[in-house]
Every structure is written in structure tokens, then in C-alpha cells.
Structure 1
Amino acid sequence: MIDLLSIHNSPDADISYRHVGSTDLTRYEKMHVEVFSESDNASIAVAREIADLIRARAYQKKQCVLGLATGSSPIGVYKELVRLHEKENLSFRNVVTFNLDEYYPMERSDIQSYWHFMQENLFKHVDITPENIHIPDGMIELADVYSHCMQYEKMIDDHGGLDFQLLGIGRTGHVGFNEPGSNSRSLTRLITLDHLTRVDAAPAFQGMNNVPTRAITMGINTIRKAKRVVLVAWGHKKAEIVQTAVEGERTSVVPASFLQDHDNLTVLLDQEACSELRRFKTPWLVGPVNWDEDLKRKAIVWLSSYVEKPILKLTERDYNNHGMSDLLAREGSAYELNIQMYNALQHTITGWPGGKEKTEGQNRPERPQPKHKRVILFSPHPDDDVISMGGTFLRLVDQGHEVHVAYQTSGNIAVSDADALRFAEFSQQLNQHAKVENPKLDQVIKRLRKQKRSEKPHKEVLNIKGLIRRGEARAGARFCGLPDDQIHHLDLPFYETGDNQKNPPGEADYEKTIELIKKVRPHQIYAAGDLADPHGTHRVCLDIVFESLKRLKGDKAIKDTWLWLYRGAWQEWPIHEIEMAVPLSPQEVDKKRQAIFFHQSQKDGVMFQGEDDREFWQRAEQRNRETARRYNQLGLTEYEAMEAFRRWRF
């Protein structure tokens, strides 16, 4: 199992803050940190604390003043608050809210406004009094912004200050929109957004050019005056900034670090967001540890990289000088440790991802039997298959396995209006050439020509965008050698909202997935193991696979199924977590690139570019080459590139 932490999975652990590690292990942390096995459990815990506070204030016949945040991190909290209102009679009649921030300029009616976000995720689902909702006005005249901000401060003070402030953290270290350079005594004000903040917001705005450059935000001092502060962060993308804010010095370069001196603050993290904290990244340098096999492997790989020596050249002095003397004393000698770890890593490398007949199975990642396996490759978007594991995909087909690709979502929102219009006009011209009338297509073209960014795309527009991605995916899979009857477009319903915010997975999503699994009866399943964003498409698609397999427990369709997880274009598994590494030749790297090129709508300035301006094929190649380089640095054979996988034992 992929499990960075030893956290109890009792019902009590799921609904309460759990302090992981001794005081010694947390001595570098300047904020109180709690870690949960899953972000959902942490969100429930926060929501219940808020609910208890609301009820306590109501019992005292007082208002409860909440400071609220937007973004993906608090969505789970709001979801649970809505459930508590609907199922457990939690009333918001005595609640007054003040939101942290709003883009400027920004109409309330814009689907990217934080007013819209709060209405959709919380306010319209509960019984809060509209007059008690306060969000900065994104359309105030520039000359009036200062007085508006001072009035916002006064309203908070007039309500006795914030009883509870919920926060997320941006990758620049911002809380609210207090970007690097913010003063610890800053108040509500108009600010300029950091480039990285705008990059992170670009997908929601359908491109960087549409992201506002300014915002109105509560100040650091406003936040610090709250009686209780809870900061939540999920996923590996937040891990580095969390470590800096929690363990680093107080500095305006990382505004969240100013919260270190708050006397009633808790930081809640999931397994990925905590991974850079010292007690999880290098616990042997912090204090005594329990040396299980996973930790031993992690430590030796780290030591080899840190001292820049191949594993077989590590000495007793290397171990003793880097907090691993107790491991050395337990195992007996560096020589034995080195050989053991070298062999373990060597056995992860295979050119036969579906297993190789007439080999010793215990020394290879996959079983030798059956010789020809049935395989399902789940691809969250219509290009993740070739971007993330295109080389392995080609190997599986070439080695005679029955490979099925299942594109879990349509990917329609990642197609630009310009591309959709180009294809629609091409279809219109074909119709005119064939003297065929298609009034519906003509209407779609009119809509595309008038489409505004702030409007949700029409269903027919989304259909065209989905067809574009479906055609690209089919062409890429055919290039890899698949017949059409082994290419499956699931078009899972949770995705089909027309914008970044998706619906929770439902029965139809599970039914479609289970139906395919029962039809294929796979020996292998490959799925995207990106755990970064609990509300991101990759994570939701993975959870649907997990739940489907759970529901199939005991069914003969999965009796012999192994589940392998790959990572997406953004990140690779750490070397110590890799259980199967598939080397690629220069020719296979080139063929993988060609497969990616079939996804033309995702080239040349794509909508979900992220902070990396390279194209997806460039990122994939660099990541695969880096994995091969790191294996080689550890003293193993040098390859052109490698794709990596982690087995999930369900």
C-alpha cells in the first residue's frame, strides 16, 4: 500500500485531529500540525469544529463570526457543513461570514467570482441570512477601494472580530491574497497578484490572459486577530510551501509564516502535503525511528543521493554521519545493507510490464502467468494514457497482451473555443460541399463566435469539444496498435458540468466502470495515481476505480487483478516508492512522442498549462529521462528513459 504515515484507521481517527509523532519529532515545527490519512477526514473534522462553535454561540444567544476561504482546499469543509445542515439540523441563522478576498475587477455574476463560488458551495444550501454574508466588492470604483476596505475592517471589528478563520495556502505562501512582500501588520487592501498565483488560477479562467491581475484581500493582521485559525492544505503541490511556512523563519517572502506566533492555530495536512516536513521526509535525522522495510529503502536511497555515491559504495561512515547508525547496528554492515538495497531496486526494472514467461516471478514486478494478459488502462483525460505511460502502453501491445484503454472523461473543457470553432466551421464547409443542411451546427457556430469567458459553454459546444478529444484519443490509441473495439470512452457523468468544478462521483460513474471491468476481467489495471488535489479530475477518477474494485470484492472478474498506478505529466513517484520501472529505448521515446502528437488540441498553448510552459511531450520525456538518470546515479544500468509504477494492493 502507498502509505507515508502510520495513522490509525479507526472511526475516531477519521473525525478528530490526530497528532502524529512525538514531541521530539515535531520540534522543528513552529506551528501546531495535524496529519490525516485522507483530506476528506480532515475536512470533516474542521466542519465539525465549526458546527460545534456555531451551536455553542447559538446556545449563548450570540452570533458566530466566521472568516471563510475559497479555492479547492475548503470545498470538503463546505460539503460537510451542508450535510450537517441538511441531515443534522445545523442552523446558520446566527452566523455572520466575512470572506478573505475577491478578484478585482470581478462581477458577482461571473462564474469565477468568489461570490459565485461561495453561493454554489455553501450559502445557497444553508439557511444563512443574506445580510450576514460579506465578500469584498470586486466592482467598486478604484477611487473608492480604500474606503471600502476600511469599512470592511470596521464591520469585522463591529461584530467583535472573527471567531474562526478558515485558510488555505497558495504555492507562493499567500493566505488570502497576501502575496510575498505583504507586511505582518497589513489590513484589507487592493493588491497585485503574483505571477504564480495567476498561473494556478489560469485553468479556471480558460487561460492566463483572462486571469485578473489584482484582488482585494483581508490583511495579515486582520487574519491574525481571529480568535481561532485553521489552515488546510492538500496534495504534493503544497508540500514544499507548507514546509517553508511551518519550519522556516517568519518572513514577508512567505506571508503564511507570520501565523507562527498565533496562539490558537492548527495546520491540517494530508499525507502528500506533509511529505516535506522533516519528521516525514528524513525522520532519522530528527530522532529515533522504527526501521521497517519501507523506511529503510527510503533512507538508503536518500543517503546515496545526498552523499552522491552509488549505493554499493556507501560506507559505515556515510551511515553513521547521517543519522543512520542505529540501522547499521541492527543490520550488521554497510556491505549487507548495500547489497540488499541494490538488489531490491534492480528487481523493480523490467522490460516486460505484463510479465515474462519462464522467469522467476519473485524477482520481477509482475507474474509470468498467464503469458498473455488482459489489461485495462484507465486514462482520466483523453491523453493521459500516452503522456504518462505511452512507452509501457506500446510494450504491452507489442508483447501480445490484450490491452483496453478506457478514457474516463471527455476532457471537453480543455478545448479552446477557437479550436471548437475551427472544427465546427470545417464541418459546416463539408456540409455545404455535400449540400447538406445542419441548422443545429449553424447555431453552435453562432454561439462560439459570441461566447464570453464568464459564461458556461452551451451543451452543444461541449459536445463538439468532446468529439475533438475523442477523435484525438482514438487516433493515438490506434497508433499504439489498438483495434477500435478495445478503445472505450466512458464519459463519466461527474465530469460533465461544463466548468472546472465537478459533481461528486455518483452511481452512474461506478456502474460504467464496473461494467467495463466485468466485461474485460483484467489481469492488470493501470490507473492515474495523482493524489495531489482531492477535487481534481485525476484524483476523482482514481477514487472511482478504487470504489469500483471495492464493490467487486469477491467477484471472479477481479480474482487475478493487479492494480498499477502511474503518475501524470506533473510528477513522478519517488525512487524508493517505485515497484516497477519500465526502461525505454531512444526509438520507444520517439514513438511515445508521436503518440502524444495526435492530441493536437493540447499542443501550443493549452488551457491547462500550469506553471511549466513546456508542452506535455517535453515534460513527459524530461520526467522519464530524470527517472532513468536517478536509477543510474544509484549505481544501476543507464537507460535512455524509464516509466515508473507503484502497485496498489486492494
Structure 2
Amino acid sequence: MDMKTKTRSSLISYQPAGQFEETRFEKIHNVIFDTSQQGSIEVAKEISNLIRERASKGQNCVLGLATGSSPIKVYEELVRMHREEGLSFSNVVTFNLDEYYPMEKGNIQSYHYFMHQHLFDHVDIAPGNIHIPDGTVSIEEIKEYCRSYEKKIEEEGGLDFQLLGIGRTGHIGFNEPGSHHNSATRDITLDHITRVDAASAFKGVENVPRKAITMGISTIRNAKRIILLAWGQNKAEVVKATIEGEISSEVPATYLQEHGNATFVMDKEAAAQLTRIDTPWLVGGCSWTEDLTHKAVTWLSMAKAKPILQLTDKDYNDSGMSDLLNLELSSYEINIKTFNRLQHTITGWPGGKPNAADSNRPERAEPTKKRVIIFSPHPDDDVISMGGTFDRLVAQGHEIHIAYQTSGNIAVADHEALKVAEVANSIGETPLFSKVIKDIQAKTGEDFDSELVRKVKGNIRRAESLGATRYFGIPDEQVHFLDLPFYETGAIKKSPLSEKDIAIMNNIIEEVRPHQIFAAGDLADPHGTHRVCLEVLFESLRRLKDEFFMKDCWVWLYRGAWHEWEIHEIEMAVPMSPEQVLRKRKAIFYHQTQKDGVMFQGEDPREFWVRAEERNKETAHKYQTLGLASYAAMEAFVRYHF
């Protein structure tokens, strides 16, 4: 049967009605789920069905497997099926996509270690059926080794199923930009962006290997069935380029457009930039809700580089929005509604303005003095993300509590902890700090920090946090260090959320009984801590929502050092004067270990204070461009309704 005419997997039938709608823009079949958890479960179902189908015929099932964060939940579900539903892997043969080179199998950063940790050690697969590229072969043997890897796949009858993730460069496996569509398994030099994205796992980009062994594009495309996973807003740009762009070696994943049985499985965040999701009026007729209209008009204003109140009927007609114009009768009416809605998001009173009508303000006037909890995933997210708002809430007399959800200890470099220990010992040598020095000096690149070193690093970040909160005038007894247990592993990989984490969050909310909660809604955090901290807050809110004191609690989400809310999403924008911008900068500077070469930089080379300032200035500039008042900078928030 020709590959192009094969029936796609039943994964399509799992999607809720209306979730997938092909458009002229899209060149690869895709399915969008509300969450990565939902998508991962459905992918695991397809894999398990394939394994069972082959077993019923007495045949092996040949799987191509991926590593990285994207497939972890798929593997967790497969392990659950094995334990609880009797799914056997006795007929499964696996071939992994890639491995760093050089790389020892026992290294905690190796994909050999990853696969055994997340899947192979927990199922009944025969060790001889596991194939992972060997990062220890000599440079002279690599070419022959890669040929033999290809031959083993052929001898098994080819890949029945290939699971993929996607890198920000558009790589699949480690097929970086420039890879040829006929490429086979080979060694390859890693793109700089790929190494930057891996830097947090290796505790610095300088420690990331420069080469890898990878299956080739041709090897991948020969699989009978391909599913590519994409989770989170960090993948939105490359997902759009891959699904809607032209086939190009510069975005190797676009080669999948030529495969007749490939599906992208995404969450809403990863799919956010697809044309039918982001600007559906360019695809066809829309159901014009109030929110979609608001988004479309702000988009049109920026696309035309015209203030909202200057948009004309012609602007709407020329941009696929004539049906909206017909509904509202005139561009004037639409413009006024959008302008007023944006104007009402701006407030210099983030805790509400006392003795003022609040119908057109984002926050309530009463109570005039609110109890507020600012949840900060790491010990600097509060001042980086909402330092100006923080400062204003204090100045306006509200009772502010800061709750640092994690210790942030892994983000303190060894040399910073060593410096503290050596200073302490210079006053009077102690066994405690002598051991800290010994532990750090004995540590190799593959070792975790000792418990004592983690404690010192955590205390360094506590001291920095207190410096910033005291600068803003917060009493120490209103600063809470939660040290959520999920984080305290000493490694990049965290533990799953537990009842202990939830209990700690519940306790602080029950203790303070807040009228306002501010929390990080930034899901682009490269090591996932923000996402987990948000999930544990949502779970706490779910459990506490019926308590009497929660009836008057509003939750506002800020974003962190990586992204800002889109202009149409913003529900509260707090202006900052030039003086407040400088005060925010100074508060960030109290976090000295996170300046000048921070360990988890992400893809942005700028320091966090620079990112924050420029992002706040850009938000203010967008408001000005849309025709509203001009401010030096603005911090933005979205309300979460629980």
C-alpha cells in the first residue's frame, strides 16, 4: 500500500469534536489537547494498542523512541499500563533516536540513563531488544557503527512507530538545520541553540557535548507511523514553521510534510501560533465572541501600525474581518469598545483604589487594605516579574506576604557557595564549613550537591531575598520560605508533586487568608519549576475554594523572565515611573548570585534585570502604539478564575 494512502491511527478518534480542522495553511495532520497529560495518555494508548496487536499475531513491535522532556509522560503512562493493565513489552524491540557524543552510559545526562530511568527499568522488555546509540565508540569506529545501527533496524523489518520531539531549531532527533532528507544514522555537530537549550541539565552550556550520534532524516521517515510531541509555548514558533512553512533543510521537521502517516500531537500552548488558532479570521468565518473581537482589533491595529481609534472600514474588510464589521455596523463602534476595554486595564492601584468607583477598574476598591500573598517560584521571580507592582502595593498600605515556593539552591554556582564557606572559615575555621569546602572541591560534573551544600546554597538565596524584601519595606515575619519538597532533589529533575507540597501551600493560604494572590503564570520556564509551582497553587485553590475566606480572594497571574502576556490577554496593566523602574532594578540586584552569568539563562543572553526592564518598556510601548497613554514601563497581569 502506498504510504500516502494509509489510514491514520485511531488517535484522531480520541480528540474532542472540532479540535482538528485542516486549513489551507496546514501541511501536517495535527491534534490539539488541552494539556500535555491528556495528549501523552492518548499517544501511550496508540503505542499499547500497536504492541498488543503485534503480539496477537506473534510478531515483534519495533518502536523508535525519543528522549527529552516531551515523551516523559508517555513513558509514565506505558509503565502504568504495564503494572496495572498487564501490558507486556516481551515482543517489543526499541531503537532510540540519538545520544550525545562522547557520553558514558552511566552518566546521568546520557540518554541510556534516561531511557532506563523512565521506561526500561520498569517494564519486561528483554535487554537484548534495547538499542541506544553508543556514545563511547571511538571516533575511528563511528561510521561503521552507524551503518550497523541502520542495518539492525532493517533486519527488524523497519520501524513500526517513531516517537519524536522537536527542538527550537526544528531538529528531530539531532538532525540539525542543514540536514539532508536522505541522511542516515551518523555523527553530527550540535547547533548552538540546541546546546543552550540543554545547558540547564549540564549546569552550563560549556559542559554540553558538541557532537551527537543521531538517526537520519531518511531513517525517521521510513517509519510506518510517526507521532511528534510538542508541549508548551516555547515550541509554538517552530510548530507553526513546521506545519505551515515550506519544506526546508533549515527546519528539518518540515520533511515530515512528505510522510503520509505523521501526526503532531500538541497542547494548546504549542499550537497557539497556528493561523487557525492565532488569527482564525484569516482562515474563514468566525464566531465573534467579545474576547476574539478584542484580540482581532488589537492585532489589526498593530498590523496596520495605526492607533485603534483610527482604524477604518477598509482596514477591517482588507484583513478578512468584514463579517465582524457587518455584525457591529461600523468600525467606529468596534474601535471604541476595544479602546475602552484596554483603557480599563490600566491602573496605578493594583490593590484597588480606595473610595473610588471600581466598575471600570481591574481590582475592587474594598477592602481598602488587603492581605496579599505574592507567590514566587524561585527566590527572585517576585522582583523580576512584578517588582514595580510589589513596590506600589507596599506603598499603598496593603499587608504583603511573600511566599518563595522553592529554595532555588540548584541555581547557585559552586564558586558562590565556596566563597561563602571560605569567608566563614576565615573568621574562625569550623568543621561545618570545612566540610562544605571539601564537598564542593570533591564534586565532579556528574555529581549532585551534598545535602549540606544544598543547605548553604539555599541559605544564600534566602539572604538575597531578604535583602530585596527589606528594601521594599516588608517585615521579615511576612516573608515565607516554603521549600516545597518536589524541588529538593539536588538535580534538575524534580520529584512529582505530593500531598506534602499541597499541604504546605494550603497552610500558607489558610494562615494569611488573602484578598489577593499573585502567582507566576509563565509556563516557558526552561526547567519546569514555574509550571509545577502553578500546578500546586491550582490544586490548593481547588481544595480551598469553598472556604469562607476564599470567597473574597482574587488571583492574578504574572509572567516571568522569559515571556510576557499578549496585549489582548492583559487584564491589569500597572504603569511604572522612571523612578520605579530604577527601584525595581535595585531590588533585582540584591539577588547577586543570579547576576553576571546566571546558571539557567535559557535562550536569552541578557541578564534578568535587562530582560525585565525591556519587556516592561515594550508593554508600555504597545499600549502607546494602540493609541493609549504613554508610560515609561508597565507590568502586566491576567486574572485566574478558580
Category of TM-score, reference length = shorter chain: over 0.9
**Does the 8 Å contact 1:19/1:34 carry over to 2?**
no
* Equivalent AA in structure 2 for residue 194 of structure 1: D
1:396 counterpart SS class: helix
> Which of 352, 356, 359 is residue 359 of structure 1 equivalent to?
356
Number of the residue aligned with 1:4 = none
* 2:33 matched residue in structure 1: 36
**Equivalences for 1:100-115 in 2 at 5 Å?**
100-115=97-112
Query: Which of residues 292, 295, 300 in structure 1 aligns to 2:297?
Result: 300
Change (3 A) 1:579 1:498: same
* Contact in 2 for aligned 1:234/1:532 (Cα 8 Å): no
Mapping for residues 91-170 of structure 1, pairs under 5 Å = 91-170=88-167
- Correspondence for 1:612: 604
Structure 2: gaps of 5 or more residues: 1-9
How many residue pairs align between the two structures?
Answer: 633
Question: Which residue of structure 2 aligns with residue 470 of structure 1?
Answer: 462
Q: Which residue of 1 aligns with 2:560?
A: 568
TM-score by length of 2: 0.97
C-alpha offsets along residues 512-548 of structure 1, whole Å, 9 cap, x if unaligned? 0000000000111011001236971100000000000
**What's the TM-score, normalizing by structure 1?**
0.96
Aligned pair partner of 2:218 in 221, 230, 236: 221
Instruction: Specify the SS of the correspondent of 1:576.
Output: coil
Counterpart-to-counterpart distance in 1, 2:527 and 2:431: 38
Instruction: Provide the residue aligned with 1:269 in structure 2.
Output: 266
Mapping 1:284-323, distance limit 5 Å? 284-323=281-320
Aligned equivalents of 1:626, 1:15: Cα separation in 2: 43
What corresponds to 1:371 in structure 2? 368
Structure 2 equivalent of residue 3 of structure 1: none
1:197 is aligned to: 194
Residue type at the aligned position of 1:614: R
The answer on whether the counterparts of 2:492 and 2:527 sit within 8 Å (CA) in structure 1 is no
CA RMSD of aligned residues (A): 1.5
Cα distance in 2 between the residues matched to 1:364 and 1:390: 21
Q: Does 1:528 pair with 2:520?
A: yes
Mean Cα deviation higher: 454-463 or 483-492: 454-463
Distance 1:65 1:431 in 2: 63
Deviation digits for residues 570-629 of structure 1 (CA, Å, limit 9, x no counterpart) = 100000000000000000000000000000110001111112111100000000000000
The secondary structure found in structure 1 opposite 2:474 is: coil
- Which letter maps to 2:384? I
- 1:35 aligns to what SS in structure 2? strand
CA contact (8 A) 2:11 2:46 kept: no
- Aligned partner letter, 2:23: T
Equivalent residue in structure 2 for 1:588, among 564, 580, 583:
580
Residue aligning to 1:240: 237
CA drift of 1:332 comes to: 1.1
Percent of paired sites with the same residue:
61
For 1:75 and 1:358, how far apart are their aligned partners in 2? Answer: 52
Mapping for residues 429-468 of structure 1, pairs under 5 Å: 429-432=426-429, 438-468=430-460
In structure 1, what is the equivalent of residue 5 of structure 2? none
Contact 1:569 1:616 in 2 (8 A): yes
How much has 1:14 moved relative to structure 2? 12
* Alpha-carbon offset, residue 246 of structure 1: 0.6
Q: Offset at 1:384?
A: 0.3
Question: Secondary structure in 2 aligned to 1:306?
Answer: helix
Q: Cα gap change, 1:441/1:71 in structure 2, threshold over 3 Å: closer, same or farther?
A: same
Instruction: Give the Cα–Cα distance (whole angstroms) in 2 for the partners of residues 534 and 206 of structure 1.
Output: 13
User: In the TM superposition, what is the alpha-carbon distance from 1:208 to its structure 2 partner?
Assistant: 1.0
- Alignment check: 8 A CA contact 2:11 2:42 kept: no
- Counterpart in 1 of 2:411? 414
Amino acid corresponding to residue 186 of structure 2 in structure 1: R
Q: Which amino acid aligns with 2:14?
A: S
CA, structure 1 residues 291+534, in 2 after alignment: closer, same or farther (shift >3 Å)?
A: farther
Aligned match for 1:76, one of 64, 73, 76: 73
Rounded Cα–Cα distance in structure 2 between residues aligned with 1:110 and 1:447 = 20
1:17 corresponds in structure 2 to 15
Contact 1:18 1:34 in 2 (8 A): no
Secondary structure at the aligned position of 1:467 is classed as helix
Alignment of 1:571-650 (within 5 A): 571-650=563-642
Q: Which residue of 2 aligns with 1:8?
A: none
CA deviation map 1:469-526 (0-9, x unaligned): 1111111111111101110000000011111111110000000000000000011101
Quote the offset at 1:126 in angstroms. Answer: 1.6
Shift in Å at residue 15 of structure 1? 9.7
By how many angstroms is 1:20 displaced? 4.0
Equivalent in the alignment of 2:484: 492
Counterparts of 1:139 and 1:18 in 2: how far apart (Å)? 46
Aligned to 1:6: none
Matched to 1:628, the amino acid is A
> Match of 1:557?
549
CA shift at 1:441, angstroms? 2.5
Question: Cα distance, 1:257 vs. partner?
Answer: 0.2
Structure 2 distance, partners of 1:235, 1:60, is 38
CA distance in 1, matches of 2:32, 2:444: 42
Corresponding letter in the other structure for 1:527 = A
Counterpart Cα distance in 1 of 2:563 and 2:80: 34
Whole-Å Cα distance in 1 between the matches of residues 386 and 469 of structure 2? Answer: 12
CA separation of 1:258/1:43 partners in 2, compared to 1, >3 Å: closer, same or farther? same
> Any idea what the Cα deviations from partners look like across 1:361-411, whole Å, max 9, x if unmatched?
210000000000000100000000000000000011110011101000011
**Counterpart AA for 1:71:** G
Amino acid at match of 2:105: R
- Kept in 1, the 8 Å contact 2:412–2:457? The answer is yes
Relative to structure 1, the CA distance from residue 495 to residue 579 in structure 2 (aligned partners, 3 Å threshold; closer, same or farther) is: same
1:231 aligned counterpart, secondary structure: strand
Aligned equivalent of 1:483: 475
Q: Deviations over 1:417-463 (max 9, x none)?
A: 1111111111222233xxxxx32332221121121111122111111
The structural deviation recorded for 1:196 is 0.4
